[in-house]
Amino acid sequence: MNIRTTVAVPLAAFLLAGCATPEPRPDYDALLAQMMRDSFRDEGIAKADRLQQDAANAACSKAAAGSALPEALARSLQEAALKSVRLPSDGKFLGDWREGEKLAQSGRGMTWTDKSAAPATNGGNCYNCHQITAAEISFGTIGPSLLHYGRQRGVTDPESPLSRPIVEYTWTKLYNARAFSACSGMPRFGHAGVLDETQLRNLMALLLDPKSPVNQ
């Protein structure tokens, strides 16, 4: 055997072996789902059904893993989100900004130690992702700054018909952020039953009432 065959034969055998038994890629999505199911259980008001993704969550998780969301799918998810939105039953969009500020500050609720799953016991946790008033200097930056939100958008009288588009947009955004952005990372406060109408009105006032510290 000359030197060439000494090298070539084992190399060919090695390459062939590589072709014959391809390493199967683990199904990471299935493994992750199993790990989540094994790690969580019903506890108090916090039920394991929270692990079940709806169509939008599943599509967006897949996109987050690297595949872009096809435009038609993004549009249909946004349309479905928009249909989920219920405008205030009495046509009143704004409540009390002082209560809104308390909600924006509070990140509590929906945990297994809570006595009730009723939205009225939950906070909005808005400062976790947004700057809102100038006085609060502790805030997250996952979402855009909401300081001067109403003023910047020209809302001097939220009751005026001229303000209606921005008022409705803001309500819709709080109710289901995915109506305008298919894979928004913002919690769907109304749609998911995190906050009730009264709470949403108070947050609306925080953002849009000209007297709110947001608009000073």
Which residues make up the interface to ligand HEC (CB under 6 A)? 104, 124-126, 128-130, 142-144, 146, 170, 173-174, 177, 181, 184-187, 189, 203, 207
Q: Are 176 and 84 in contact (CB under 8 A)?
A: yes
> Whole-number minimum distance, CB 28 to ligand HEC, in Å?
24
> CB 165 → ligand HEC: shortest distance, Å?
12
* Amino acid sitting at position 47: K
> Cα 66 to chain center, whole Å?
18
Give the residue with the Cβ less far from ligand HEC, 112 or 129.
129
* Choice between 110 and 146, CB closer to ligand HEC: 146
The DSSP secondary-structure symbol of 141 reads -
Listed in order, strand segments (DSSP E) in 18-113 are none
C-beta of 155 vs 177, nearer to ligand HEC: 177
Containing 197, the helix (H) or strand (E) segment is helix 197-208
Which of 119, 59, 93 is CA-nearest to residue 201?
93
Distance of closest approach, residue 88 Cβ to ligand HEC, in angstroms? 15
Specify the residue, 84 or 181, whose C-beta has the smaller distance to ligand HEC.
181
